[in-house]
């Protein structure tokens, strides 16, 4: 399901206009993104938790040449599904 399909489905289920649903969805994604940029955790009870995880620096290999390369440490977004979501998916 892509963004347009999600907007269409939410619009059908809630009765809101597609334009309103699209604005709300964009607002939610922007709010989650800003919170993660600040290093905050976003927890939606029953759905899941978005958080920032740190990856340590490590050594890798260039697959074309086999030469060793250094991979810098970095922060990555992470999502952990909540129990209710896990139960519904199974």
47 & 34 share domain? no
User: Alpha carbon of 85 to those of 14, 39, 48: distances in Å?
Assistant: 20, 24, 7
12 & 56 share domain? no
36 & 48 share domain? no
- Domain housing 88: 42-90
57 & 77 share domain? yes
pLDDT at 63: 92
pLDDT tens digits, one per residue of 52-68: 999 999 999 999 999 99
88 & 54 share domain? yes
Section 10-30 average pLDDT: 96
Residue 68's nearest CA partner among 81, 59, 58 is 59
pLDDT at 22: 96
47 sits in which H/E element: none
14 & 31 share domain? yes
Query: Over pLDDT 90: what percentage of the chain?
Result: 97
Kindly tell me the number of DSSP H helices and DSSP E strands found in the chain: 3, 5
59 & 79 share domain? yes
28 & 62 share domain? no
Give the model's confidence band at 31: pLDDT under 50 very low, under 70 low, under 90 confident, else very high.
Answer: very high
Domains in the chain: how many in total?
Answer: 2
């Amino acid at each position: 399901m892509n963004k347009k399909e999600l907007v269409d489905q939410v619009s059908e289920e809630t009765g809101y206009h597609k334009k309103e649903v699209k604005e709300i969805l964009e607002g939610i994604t922007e709010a989650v993104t800003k919170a993660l940029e600040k290093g905050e955790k976003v927890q939606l009870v029953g759905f899941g938790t978005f958080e920032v995880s740190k990856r340590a620096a490590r050594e890798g290999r260039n697959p074309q040449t086999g030469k060793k390369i250094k991979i810098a440490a970095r922060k990555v977004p992470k999502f952990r599904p909540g129990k209710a979501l896990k139960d519904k998916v199974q």
